[in-house]
Every structure is written in structure tokens, then in C-alpha cells.
Amino acid sequence: MKKIIYFLLILLFGAHHAAAQSIAQQRADRMKLGMNLSYLDNYSLGTKEKNYADFVKPADAAKREKMFAEIAKAGFSTVRIPINFGAWASLNQPYRWENGEGLKTADLFVKWAAANDLNAIVDLHHVEFDGKIQGAATTERIIWLWRQIATRYKNTNPERVFFELRNEPHDIKAEDWRAQAEAIIKTVRQIAPNHTLIVGFHDWNSRQALIDSKPFADANIIYTFHYYDPFIFTHQGATWSSEGLPELKNVPFPASKNTKIETPAIAKGKWVENQINSYQKDSSAEKMFADLKAAKNWAEKNKVPIFVGEFGSYGKYPTTEDRCRHAAVIYSAFGKLNIPGAWWEWDGGFNMFEKGTTKIAACMRKAVDSYNVRKAAK
Ligand code: BGC
């Protein structure tokens, strides 16, 4: 009898435990290792006069089919697909699609993810064209886009396909982004009630913005932030970001006692110089772990799941070994803290490959695997 009661108790407790896990949390738990497959975000491949609407070349897209298989084979469970839907739509009301080819390619990407048993994140990327096209990111336009996107993908499997409302909102006040996000959530929910939404906060989906914010009322949301710290390591040589970064090189990871980083003349007195000054501390594994732990604490306090939608390093200047050490710090922290994350990116300048090949570098492989090692040890 005692045994039966014990058994019943376990059943009861087990069931209660499962019910307590939200749908969003269950789905987040299955995201694990993720990879960004860039390309459909790359509006600058198009013609400026055409507002970049022609940036997708169907022939380029077809060769990406095999990348989904490669990503799955490399042990990733989730693919984040950044898509510049905005480039295929008119800028002014009444809104309409200008380029059906682009949309068809997006459909193929979502299909190829499912065919390879990958969770897929349909991510509305660069809707503001980095400020290159004024007025592209109004709430009316984004709502129109989401009505279209949600309708297009509402019949996909909600267990496997997630909708990310807007990549890296910036130059928008916290409260304005919140209001815009609430309007998008309302729109998507009328069309796709069961799909999990991925939502980050203002200031480029920064970690601090997440910590400073409150979750939304909708329970089926996974919260996201991007983690490119320390930025002067991950973005040395980057031409599209802060002043002084294109000229910055020879930033090792981590810094040693003797590390002396030369401040490019153009960065003097700027944000990049501040980052150089605090690099000793910022590149320590302890500091990075504490950053990620603080995000996890936020998630636990609010009882919501989190997902790091982008992290990685630009391969132009640093050595592969330094990039691997940086990746290992993050992957092992993710494993310990049980945070899923998507590396930026599979085959662009942030790739994990041995230089000049399409094979994941051995030390990168080890770094990625440290995600599971730590978890198994727990
Ligand atoms: C941008 C990319 C950039 C990456 C790292 C992404 O969100 O879309 O263009 O390479 O961040 O900076």
C-alpha cells in the first residue's frame, strides 16, 4: 500500500510539475543549440533605387537548401532565419507586396527547416533598413507586415515555428517599442493564437534593456537578447558599427596582464576607447558568466523563458583560437545556466569555419560541445 501511495504521489507531483511548465518554456527547452542562417536579411545585396526589393536571387537561395541539412548534421536544433520582409513591401499605404520571389524564398527556408527537423524562427529583420529608408518602420507598416506574415505561416507547426516580432529595435524609446510590440502581439494573436513569439527589447535587444523591462501580458512568449560582449573583441574590424571599430585590430581574447590595445586615433574620446579601457575586466570569463546569470535571474524572477538570438564574433582579424576561447566561455555558460542561444552566423563573416573552408574549426567544435558537457555534469 505504502508503495502505491508513493507511486500515486509521484504521478501527481510529476503531472503538477509538467502543468506548471508553460508552453513557451517547454518550447524554449527544446531550442538548445541554435544557428542563424543569414542571407534573407541582406537587403544591401539589392539595388538602392529599387529600395532593395530585388536583393534575393532565387539561384542563390536554392544553394542554401543544403545548409539546413548541414546545420542539423552539426548538432543544432534551431535555426533563426532573419528575413527582411520589409524590402519586399511597398513603403506607403495602401501597402502591398512588391516582390513575390522574395516571399517564395522565405517559404522555402521555413520548409527546409521543417524538412531537417529544426525549430525555425521567422525573424522580422532590418525592418528599419538601419535608417537608410526613412519611415519604413512605422507601427502601421509593421502591423501590416505581421498580418501578412502570420497569415502566411499560421498553418505551420506551432511546436516548431516561432515568430520573432522585430530584430534589434533601436532609436526608439523603451515605451514606444513596448507600445509597438503590444500592437504587433495583438495582431499576430488574432491570426496565429498558438505560435510562440520571440520578443526582445529596445536598445538593439540589449541585455540591459531586457533586465530593465517587464514581460508582456501574453504568456506564450520567449524573451530574447543579443550578447556580443566584449564588443571590441567580437566587432574588431566591423565597418557597420561604432566609430573606431573598422580600424581596431589585435584585440586578443581574453586580455592578459600585459595586453596593451592600441586605440585607433579616430576612437579617441569615443565609446570604443572606453571599451578598450575596461577590456581587462570585460574579457574575463567571470564577468561574462555574471552577465548571463543576471539575464537568467530576470527570467527566473519573472517565470519566463529566455533565448539569446545572436552571439558570435567577426572573423576578419582575430585568430581562430581566440574566437574559440570566446565561444567556449559563452557556450559553457549557456550549458550551465540552461539558456538556448543561436550563433551568428552559419556562412557569413562570423562563421565558425576553419579559415578558407566550410568545415567547423576543431576548437569551435569543442566550444559548441561545452554546452552539453556542462549540462551532463550538472
Ligand atoms: C546584423 C548583421 C551583423 C550582425 C553582427 C546582425 O543583427 O543584421 O548585419 O553582421 O548583427 O553585428
Average pLDDT estimate for 71-97? 98
Least confident of 13-22, 226-235, 271-280: 13-22
Average pLDDT estimate for 53-65? 91
Angle between helices 139-153 and 174-191 (to 10 degrees): 30
Task: List CB contacts of 90: < 8 A, sequence separation 6 or more.
Answer: 96, 97, 98
Q: How many Å lie between the centroid of ligand 1 and the Cα of residue 225?
A: 13
3-state secondary structure of 41: coil
**Ligand 1 atom, smallest distance to 349 CA:** 10
**Ligand 1 atom, smallest distance to 167 CA:** 7
H-run or E-run covering 160: none
Strand partners, 129: none
For ligand 1, pick from 310, 313, 314, 351 the residue to mutate: most ligand atoms within 8 Å of CB.
310
Q: How many Å lie between the centroid of ligand 1 and the Cα of residue 205?
A: 12
Residue with cell 534589434: 168
Residue with cell 534551431: 78
Q: How many Å lie between the centroid of ligand 1 and the Cα of residue 39?
A: 11
Q: How many Å lie between the centroid of ligand 1 and the Cα of residue 308?
A: 14
Radius of gyration of the CA atoms of the chain, in A = 21
State the SS3 of 231-267.
HHHHCCCCCCCCCCCCCCCCCCCCCCCCCCCCCCHHH
- Cell output for 153: 505561416
- The amino acid occupying position 267 is A
Average pLDDT estimate for 92-110? 95
Average pLDDT estimate for 295-310? 98
Contacts from 171-175 at CB under 8 Å and sequence distance 24+? 171/128, 171/131, 172/202, 173/202, 174/201, 174/202, 174/203, 174/209, 174/212, 174/213
Ligand 1 and 39: CB distance under 6 A? no
Please report the pLDDT score of residue 59 as a whole number. 87
- Cell output for 328: 567556449
Give the percent of the chain with pLDDT over 90. 90
User: Distance between CA 263 and CA 274 in Å, rounded?
Assistant: 10
Average pLDDT estimate for 221-243? 98
Residue 230: asked if its preceding bond is cis (omega within 30°), the reply is yes
Ligand 1 and 345: CB distance under 6 A? no
User: Distance between CA 67 and CA 105 in Å, rounded?
Assistant: 14
Ligand 1 and 54: CB distance under 6 A? no
Q: How confident is the model at residue 377 (pLDDT cuts 50, 70, 90)?
A: low
pLDDT digits (tens, 9 = 90+) for 131-150: 999 999 999 999 999 999 99
Please report the pLDDT score of residue 61 as a whole number. 86
Please report the pLDDT score of residue 354 as a whole number. 95
Residue 222 clears pLDDT 70, i.e. is over it: yes
Please report the pLDDT score of residue 373 as a whole number. 85
Q: How confident is the model at residue 171 (pLDDT cuts 50, 70, 90)?
A: very high
Please report the pLDDT score of residue 10 as a whole number. 52
Please report the pLDDT score of residue 376 as a whole number. 62
Please report the pLDDT score of residue 132 as a whole number. 93
Beta strand residue intervals within the chain, DSSP E: 33-36, 78-83, 119-124, 161-164, 197-200, 221-226, 306-311, 341-343
For ligand 1, pick from 344, 345, 351 the residue to mutate: most ligand atoms within 8 Å of CB.
344
**Ligand 1 atom, smallest distance to 126 CA:** 8
Please report the pLDDT score of residue 140 as a whole number. 98
- Tell me the pTM: 0.94
Ligand 1 and 282: CB distance under 6 A? no
Residue 92 clears pLDDT 50, i.e. is over it: yes
Please report the pLDDT score of residue 16 as a whole number. 47
Ligand 1 and 344: CB distance under 6 A? yes
User: Distance between CA 16 and CA 240 in Å, rounded?
Assistant: 49
Q: How many Å lie between the centroid of ligand 1 and the Cα of residue 210?
A: 19
The sign of the CA dihedral 293, 298, 302, 306 is: negative
Length of the chain: 378
Q: How many Å lie between the centroid of ligand 1 and the Cα of residue 126?
A: 9
Q: How many Å lie between the centroid of ligand 1 and the Cα of residue 124?
A: 13
Q: How many Å lie between the centroid of ligand 1 and the Cα of residue 175?
A: 24
User: Distance between CA 62 and CA 44 in Å, rounded?
Assistant: 19
Q: How many Å lie between the centroid of ligand 1 and the Cα of residue 42?
A: 10
pLDDT digits (tens, 9 = 90+) for 176-207: 999 999 999 999 999 999 999 999 999 999 99
Ligand 1 and 310: CB distance under 6 A? yes
Q: Which of 316, 319, 245 is nearest to 275 (CA)?
A: 245
Strand partners, 174: none
Residue 94: asked if its preceding bond is cis (omega within 30°), the reply is yes
Q: How many Å lie between the centroid of ligand 1 and the Cα of residue 258?
A: 31
Ligand 1 and 322: CB distance under 6 A? no
Please report the pLDDT score of residue 27 as a whole number. 98
